[in-house]
Chains A and B, each alone.
Chain A
């Protein structure tokens, strides 16, 4: 166990649904990240938060909306997704920005039908 948990582990949703992914870290870290992992592609950084403030958004479509209410929790709100958004969504945390060691959760396997 890395100290980073994600729920749900699996999610199937239609293109008109709204759902949210949740991440929680129990490591006392101050930075949290969302990554997308698609088949045969490198992990793609989506969002970075430090002390609940978003510091990076890698040109992610607006149908993905992150929220970080405190340094232990990170959400990814999903709406009007496309089938190509089906992927494994990974959350990670690190002690702080610039502290490079990142610890990943198990991911949420998302299928958009």
Chain B
């Protein structure tokens, strides 16, 4: 089955700097890669996703890149703000699979 590895487990950046979180996946048939943000006491919230026919997608300060050959994808957050502090999860899925396979999460800390 699919295996998703996520790094780093904790990331601390200064407010205003950029943050990058990386994930790799094992199943070359995976074709959908969402990113979720989970704040304390809440469920994961979908923030951006990318499908395998696209190499990059951007939404304001967040962007996701996908390298199908290397089987890795990354989340980029620019001009980080205190409200970006949360746990971020990457996930992968493929046609025919009904659930998502998640990475272990990255605790992003924005230092004032």
A residues neighboring B (CB under 8 Å):
2, 4, 6, 31, 33, 35, 40-43, 45, 48, 50, 55-56, 58, 90, 92, 97-98, 100-107
Closest chain B residue, CB of each to CB of A94: B98
Cβ–Cβ contact B105 & A42, under 8 A: yes
Chain B residues with a Cβ closer than 8 Å to the other chain, count = 24
Could you say which residues of chain B place their CB within 8 Å of the CB of A98? 95-96, 98
Chain B 84-110, CB-CB to A under 8 Å as 1, else 0, gives 000001010101101111111100000
In the complex, B112 has a CB within 8 A of chain A: no
- Complex Cα distance A104/B43, Å? 6
Cβ–Cβ contact A31 & B98, under 8 A: yes
Cβ–Cβ contact A101 & B34, under 8 A: yes
Could you say which residues of chain B place their CB within 8 Å of the CB of A35? 99
B residues neighboring A (CB under 8 Å):
4, 32, 34, 36, 41-46, 49, 89, 91, 93, 95-96, 98-105
Could you say which residues of chain B place their CB within 8 Å of the CB of A92? 43
Cβ–Cβ contact B43 & A105, under 8 A: yes
- Complex Cα distance A96/B57, Å? 24
- Complex Cα distance A96/B66, Å? 25
Closest chain B residue, CB of each to CB of A47: B99
Residue contacts A-B, CB under 8 angstroms, 8 given: A2-B45, A45-B99, A50-B98, A56-B98, A98-B95, A102-B46, A106-B42, A106-B43
Q: Which 9 A-B pairs have the closest CB atoms?
A: A104-B43, A45-B99, A42-B102, A43-B102, A48-B98, A100-B32, A106-B43, A104-B44, A42-B104
Cβ–Cβ contact A41 & B99, under 8 A: no
